[in-house]
A and B are shown apart, each in its own frame.
Chain A
Amino acid sequence: MTEPDLFTRLAATHKPDCLLSLDGPLPEAVPDPEELGRTLGSDAVAAYAGACRTIYEDLRRVIGQLSGLLILARLTNKTEMGDLPEMAQCRARWNEAGQRLAALFPPAGLQRHKAQLNGAHVFSGHVIAAARDLRRGSDMDAQLDLMTVQIKRAYAHLEAASAPKAGLQMVDFTHACCACAH
């Protein structure tokens, strides 16, 4: 097999801060449970969607927490992120999400949906692991750069798994400025 030429290599290579530069299945639009439920009218789809909710909410929170902690780590240049009590709670929630994911069996047509949840779990797990090893030094910026890409990737997977009518949504609008009577 011939090597691709320089132009093709450059055009196809992601920048280091591109979230698609990380290995693994890519975030992609997938059929959501609500859509499939309408098509298939299946109890199994409804049960799957119900089981997803807790996992989705856990991952939403894990990603939110990690993002906030990453901002603070970056701005304060402090490495204690991995030792904070919030990180312990985050890790526990991530573990629970992993156990629930392992017990989640998608009906036909929803394997790709589950793969997106898996992706969110895997990449947020990379950030949790990296936080433990975060140490002050010349490479702290490089460590944070990689964690930034990983958390963006985790979010992209979770966003791909969103299905508002099935209760899988990023923002709780219940009491937001827009929460009018509809």
Chain B
Amino acid sequence: MADYSIWVLEYCYVSKYHKSGVLYGAHNQGYVKLPYCYVVIKGRDHVAMVDVGYNDKAYGKVLGDRFGVENWRDPKAVLAEIGLSPADVDTCFISHAHFDHFGNVEDFPKAKFYIQEREISKWVWAMSLPDRMRWMMVAVDPGDIVRGVGLAAEKRLVTVDGAMEDVLPGIDLHSAPDSHTWGSMWVTVRNDGQKQSQDAWVLAGDLVYQFDNLKSSGAVVDVDTMYTPVGLAVGSQTNLILATEEMMSQVGYEARRVIPIHEEGLRDAFPSRISKDGLRVTEICLADGENSKVA
């Protein structure tokens, strides 16, 4: 029995991303493709998303010109690939406030947004620091926070302090403070609805970029495999590793159940197809009675 279907939807990509950004310490190891994706969780009574991408009107030209981000598509086109529209989405879990995750709230007019309180409060603190500490403000757009003000006014923004069980039935939020960002969050779907789930999926946000973060060579410390954190952390790599351990424990250490959203290799682990726009649709699991969108 499965309550929710889960899809990872690519909405643009960078063809050549330096591997050291993905995998801590992987210097001079070339480039990997970095897809940008969000996740759709569809149940009987709810359509939820993990992150909402960014708005090309605001960032598109800069990203395209300077950083090689290609083939951005509107959520309307991306969600249509699985038979949904942005107006169908009632809940959005924002894993963190970076522009490519929180930068398109306006395209989801009926959704309520959940974000960690710490992600907002530490941002306010970081903004107050001297210019020489500006690194800590990287990748966050004040415009996204401004739009958050509007959501709060409309009572469509919920700040969460730490973990939150059953935010929707069988869906939990977990925090990873001072890791990739100040208040990063991951989402756990217990797809059998059980407290001790045998069918759990972890939607990792940017706490894990790719499967290599979960399982990379441990030769340097004389073990077969080990966790290696992502390259970017305003908190610490230690906290990333601790969060990874907790995520893995929630899925019984079955690495394929921790879903990274910047991972091209999802195509090797799950059924998928390329849309007419050249973007990948990956089907993580299907609820009872749901039809495949990639067959």
Q: Using a CB–CB distance below 8 Å, which chain A residues touch chain B?
A: 17, 57, 60-61, 63-65, 67-72, 74-75, 85-86, 89-90, 144-145, 148, 151-152, 155, 159, 164, 169-182
Q: How far, in whole Å, are A148 and B261 apart by their CA atoms in the complex?
A: 33
B267–chain A nearest beta-carbon distance, Å: 19
**Are A155 and B142 interface neighbours, CB within 8 A?**
yes
Q: Is the CB of A170 within 8 A of B67?
A: no
A90-B153 in contact given A155-B143, A171-B59, A176-B99 (Cβ < 8 Å)? no
Report the bound CA distance from A179 to B121 in whole Å: 25
Q: How far is the CA of A152 from the CA of B120 in the complex (A)?
A: 17
Closest to A176 in B: B139
Q: Which residues of B contact A159 (CB under 8 A)?
A: 143
Contact A176 B145 (CB under 8 A): no
C-alpha spacing A172/B139, complex, angstroms: 5
Bound Cα distance from A164 to B63, whole angstroms: 11
Q: Which residue of A lies closest to B97 (CB)?
A: A68
Contact B139 A89 (CB under 8 A): no
Most buried by B among A86, A145, A148, A173: A173
Q: Are B31 and A71 closer than 8 Å at their CB atoms?
A: no
> Shortest distance in angstroms between B237's beta carbon and chain A's nearest beta carbon?
15
Contact, CB under 8 Å: B121 / A72: yes
Closest to A169 in B: B62
Chain A residues within 8 Å of B262, by CB: 177
Known contacts A72-B124, A171-B99, A180-B67; is-contact A63 B131 (Cβ 8 Å): no
Q: Which of B3-11, B15-23, B163-171, B194-202 contacts A (4 or more CB under 8 A)?
A: B15-23
Closest to B152 in A: A74
Within the assembled complex, what's the spacing in Å between the Cα atoms of A86 and B31? 40
Instruction: Establish whether residues B14 and A180, one from each chain, have CB atoms under 8 Å apart when the complex forms.
Output: yes
Q: Point out the residues of chain A lying under 8 angstroms from B157, CB to CB.
A: 71, 75
Interface centre among B135, B138, B206 (most CB of A within 10 A): B138
Known pairs A67-B146, A68-B148 / 17 extra A-B pairs, C-beta < 8 Å: A17-B153, A64-B123, A68-B120, A68-B123, A71-B120, A71-B159, A86-B125, A86-B128, A148-B150, A148-B153, A175-B138, A176-B99, A177-B14, A177-B36, A177-B232, A178-B34, A180-B17
Most central of A64, A65, A70, A164 by chain B CB within 10 Å: A64
Partner of A175, one of B17, B121, B131, B232: B232
**28 A-B pairs with C-beta separation under 8 A:** A60-B142, A61-B128, A61-B137, A64-B142, A64-B145, A67-B145, A67-B146, A68-B123, A68-B148, A71-B145, A71-B159, A72-B117, A74-B149, A173-B66, A173-B67, A173-B139, A176-B139, A176-B232, A177-B14, A177-B34, A177-B139, A177-B206, A178-B68, A180-B14, A180-B17, A180-B18, A182-B66, A182-B67
Interface contact tally, CB-CB below 8 A:
147
A86 CB, min distance to chain B CBs, angstroms: 5
Q: Which of B68, B139, B149, B232 contacts A67 (CB 8 A)?
A: B149
B141 surroundings in chain A (CB, below 8 A): 170-171
CA distance A89 to B126 in the complex (A): 11
Q: Are A182 and B146 in contact, with the CB atoms below 8 A?
A: no
A48 to B83, CA, bound (A): 51
> In the bound complex, do residue A152 and residue B146 qualify as a contact, i.e. CB atoms below 8 Å apart?
yes
Q: Do B125 and A177 touch (CB < 8 A)?
A: no
Nearest CB in chain B to that of A17: its residue = B153
Q: Which 5 A-B pairs have the closest CB atoms?
A: A64-B142, A68-B124, A176-B139, A67-B145, A178-B67
| Nearest neighbor of A152 in chain B, beta-carbon distance | B146
On chain A, the residues within 8 Å of B127 by CB distance are: 61, 64-65, 68, 86
State the CA gap A74–B158 with chains docked (Å). Answer: 11
A176 proximity list for chain B (CB < 8 A): 67, 98-100, 138-139, 232
Nearest chain A CB to B65 CB, angstrom units? 8
Closest Cβ–Cβ distance, residue B51 to chain A (whole Å): 11
Bound CA span A41–B120, Å: 42
In the assembled complex, the Cα of A148 lies from the Cα of B152 at a distance in Å of: 10
Q: Compute how far the CA of A180 lies from the CA of B123 in the bound complex, rounded to whole angstroms.
A: 24
Residues from chain A with Cβ under 8 Å of B34 in the complex: 177-178, 180
Distance of B189 from chain A, by nearest CB (Å): 23
A159 to B, closest residue via Cβ: B143
Residues of the B chain whose Cβ atoms lie less than 8 Å from the Cβ of A17: 153
Whether A175 lies near B143 (C-beta < 8 A) is: no
